[in-house]
Structure 1
Amino acid sequence: MKPKIAFFDTKSHDKASFLEKNQQYGFEIKFYKSHLSKDNAILAKGADVVCIFVNAEVDAEVIDILVENGVKLIALRCAGYNNVDLKAAKNRIKVVRVPAYSPHSIAEHTLALMLTLNRKIHRAYNRTREGNFSLEGLMGFEMKGKTAGIIGTGKIGKIVMQILKSMGMNILAYDLHPDTEFAEKNGIRYTTLDELYRDSDIISLHCPLTKETEYLINKDSIDKMKEGVMIINTGRGKLINTKDLIEALKDKKVGYAGLDVYEEESDYFYEDHSDVVIDDDILARLLTFNNVIVTSHQAFFTKEALAEIARTTLQNIQDFFDGKPLVNEVSA
C-alpha cells in the first residue's frame, strides 16, 4: 500500500499543485484546512506522514501525539523549520524540508517591495483611482549609486545582490559563512554588521531565524543605521523586533519598511480578516503607516515555486519510504 499523507493548512493552490504532481507518485493524501497544532494532531492518526507549512505548531507535545499515532515523517513544504522542536523529534521522527524552491521568486518580491516603497507606487495607485493625479509627497530617489546591505548571502541573498548590482548599487554583505569567491566575482564586499548598519541606504534580510538572529533588528541596531533607512524583510518575522521598528518609524529614523513576514503572523496571514477588527495592536499600528508595506508571506508565491515545492516534498517522502538518504533532512 502507498503511504498515507495528512496534509495540513491546505489552500486551493496547495491542493491543485500537489494533486497534479502526485500523479507521478500515487500517495494517498487527505487534506485538512487548519494548520497542525496540539488541538488537531489526532487527525494524523493512521497517516504515515504529516505535511505542514510555516504556521504549524510542532512542539514536543505535538510530536508526542504524532509518534503515538504512528506518524513516521514530518514533511515541511517550506524552507524554515524553526516551528518544529527538533530536539523532541530526535531519534523519534524524521523531519524533512524544501530548502530552495524558488530563490528567484523571493528575490524578485524583495525588489518589488524596494521599488514600490521608494517610488510610492502603492500611494500613487490609490490616488489615481480616485482621480487625484498630484505628485505631492511621491518623490523617490535613484537607487543607482546608493548602498544596499544584504544580511544573509545564501541563494536568495546572492540573487538579490546580483539584481541590485545590475542597477548600479554598491553592495555590502554580512554572513557568518561568507562566499568570498562570489563576492570577488561580483564586486561585493563582506563587512561587519556595524559597518553595514552605518553605511546602508537599504537593508534587506535573508538570513535564517536562529537564537543568534532573533530580533537582529532592534533598537540598538536601528540606532546605528542611517536616518531614513529602508528595511526589507522577506525572511522570518522574528528577525525584527516590531515594537522597536514602530518606534523608529514614528521617529523617522526608519524611512520605509517592506515586510513580507511578521513575528505573530500565524494568527492572520493566509486568511481573510477583512470583515473583522484586527485585535493585534502591533500589526494594526504597522498598517497605519503610509511608508510601510505588509504583504502576506507571499514572496514565494509563483507558479514555478509551487511546482517545485510539491515536487521536492513528494520526493522527500518517496526517498524516506525507499530507504534512500534524506538529502533535505533537518535534525537537532
Structure 2
Amino acid sequence: MVSSESVIEPSHPPVPTTGIAVYGCGEDEAALFREMGARLGLAPTITGAAVCEGNAEMARGGRCISVNHKTRVTDSTLLALSRAGVEYISTRSIGFDHIDLEYAEHVGISVGNVAYSPDSVADYTLMLMLMAVRHAKSVVRRTDAHDYRLNESRGKELRDLTVGVVGTGRIGTAVIHRLRGFGCRVLTHDRRSRAAAGHVPLDELVGQSDIVTLHTPLTAETRHLLDRRRIERMKPGAYVVNTGRGPLIDTAALLSALESGRLGGAALDVIEGEEGVFYADLRNGEIGHEALTRLQRLPNVLISPHSAYDTEHALRDIVENSLLGCLEFENGRKE
C-alpha cells in the first residue's frame, strides 16, 4: 500500500485535457488510474492519503476528485473541497453512506458512485454461505491445531435449505442466479421492486429462511433492517450473511441470538463501527471494538474485513467507472 503521506505523480505524464485528484489510492489502483486516465484524456494526481480538510488543496485546478469508501468524508472536508473549486466527487463504491449528500449539495458538490462487477460480491456471498453451513471456521481451526476429528455438528447442503435474499439489485440478482444452481428454495424481498420471483414480505422471509443474506443499500429506512424483533422471528439454527453494510443489522441483537445459541451462525463481511478497524493492521494494538471481539470469539461466526468486492476484475471496473463519471461531469459542464 502507498504511505498515507505520499503523493505519487505519473513518471511519464500523458498529454492531458483535464486534471483529477485521486485520494486514498493504493499502488495497484494508481497504475490503473494512470493507464486509463491517459487513454481517456484525464491527468490524475494521486495520493495514498484519504481525502481530508488538510489535503483538499491538492484538488485545486480541477473540478473532479475520486475517493474511496474506507474513510468518511466529513462536512469540513466537503467545505474545504468546495473552496478549492471541486464540484464533483466520484466515490469508488456503490454506497454513499460515508458522504453527507445533502451537505455536499449545499456546498455545490455533486456526488456520483460507480458500478462494478456484481460477480465479485456474489461469488464471495456464496463462499460465505457454504463456509457457514459447513462449519468451516471450526474445522480449519481444529485442523490447524492437528485435531483431525470430525465436528460434533454435521454440515448442511444448500439444496435442503431456504435462502432469503434481501435486496434484488445487480448483486442480489447475481446471488439468486448462483443459488439456483444449488437447487435451494429462494425467497426474495426488495422495498423498491416486487418483480423478483419468490417475493414475500420481509417478516415472512426471515421467518421461513434457513439463511438470510443482505444486499440492500444502507439508508435511514434500512438501518437495522434486521432488528431485534426480526432476528427473534428467524428460525432457530438459521444463519445470517451480510456483504452489504454493517448497520443493516442490529449488532447487539445479533450477538445476543448467537451467544444464546438460538441462531446457527453468521458470516459478516461488514459490521457496525468497522471504520478505523477494517483495512488497518492491528496485530500489535487494541482493536477497541467490543462487539467485533465478541463475534470473533464465537466458533460459528466468520468475519472478513469488507473485502467481498476486492477482485482484479472489480478493481478495473471501479477505476474506469470513476474516471468515466468525472469525464461525463466535465463534458456536461462544457455543453
Provide TM-score, normalisation by structure 2.
Answer: 0.89
Q: How many residues align?
A: 319
Q: Residue 23 in 1 paired to residue 46 in 2? A: no
The CA deviation at 1:214 is: 0.3
The CA deviation at 1:36 is: 2.3
- The residue that corresponds to 1:195 in the other structure is 204
- Once the two structures are superposed, residues 293-324 of structure 1 have per-residue CA deviations (whole angstroms, 9 ceiling, x without a partner) of 11111111111101111111111111111227
Q: Residue 57 in 1 paired to residue 72 in 2? A: yes
Secondary structure of 2:45 counterpart: strand
Q: Residue 67 in 1 paired to residue 74 in 2? A: no
- The residue that corresponds to 1:96 in the other structure is 112
The within-5 A match list for 1:291-306 is 291-306=300-315
The within-5 A match list for 1:1-332 is 2-38=17-53, 40-90=55-105, 92-98=108-114, 100-137=115-152, 139-180=154-195, 183=196, 188-323=197-332
Structure 1 residues not aligned, in runs of 5+:
326-332
The CA deviation at 1:59 is: 3.8
- Partners of 1:321 and 1:266 in 2: how far apart? 32
- Partners of 2:162 and 2:61 in 1: how far apart? 54
Secondary structure of 1:171 counterpart: strand
Report the AA paired with residue 297 of structure 1.
H
Tell whether the 8 Å contact from 2:165 to 2:188 is kept in structure 1 after alignment.
yes
- Partners of 2:168 and 2:37 in 1: how far apart? 33
RMSD: 2.1
Report the AA paired with residue 95 of structure 1.
V
- Partners of 1:23 and 1:122 in 2: how far apart? 45
Secondary structure of 1:278 counterpart: coil
- Partners of 1:324 and 1:38 in 2: how far apart? 26
The CA deviation at 1:236 is: 0.8
Distance 1:37 1:287, change over 3 A: farther
The CA deviation at 1:45 is: 3.9
Identity %: 34
Secondary structure of 2:39 counterpart: coil
Tell whether the 8 Å contact from 2:24 to 2:67 is kept in structure 1 after alignment.
yes
- Report the more deviating stretch, 151-160 or 84-93: 84-93
Moved >4 Å (runs of 4+): none
The CA deviation at 1:89 is: 2.1
Distance 1:47 1:268, change over 3 A: farther
Secondary structure of 2:332 counterpart: coil
- Report the more deviating stretch, 147-156 or 10-19: 10-19
Report the AA paired with residue 20 of structure 1.
E
- Partners of 2:278 and 2:330 in 1: how far apart? 33
Distance 1:45 1:324, change over 3 A: closer
- Partners of 1:154 and 1:40 in 2: how far apart? 35
The CA deviation at 1:251 is: 1.2
The CA deviation at 1:123 is: 2.7
Structure 2 residues not aligned, in runs of 5+:
1-15
- Partners of 1:43 and 1:284 in 2: how far apart? 38
- Once the two structures are superposed, residues 174-224 of structure 1 have per-residue CA deviations (whole angstroms, 9 ceiling, x without a partner) of 1123352xx4xxxx3111111111100000000011111001112111011
- Report the more deviating stretch, 203-212 or 238-247: 238-247
- Once the two structures are superposed, residues 221-241 of structure 1 have per-residue CA deviations (whole angstroms, 9 ceiling, x without a partner) of 101111111000011111011
The CA deviation at 1:126 is: 3.0
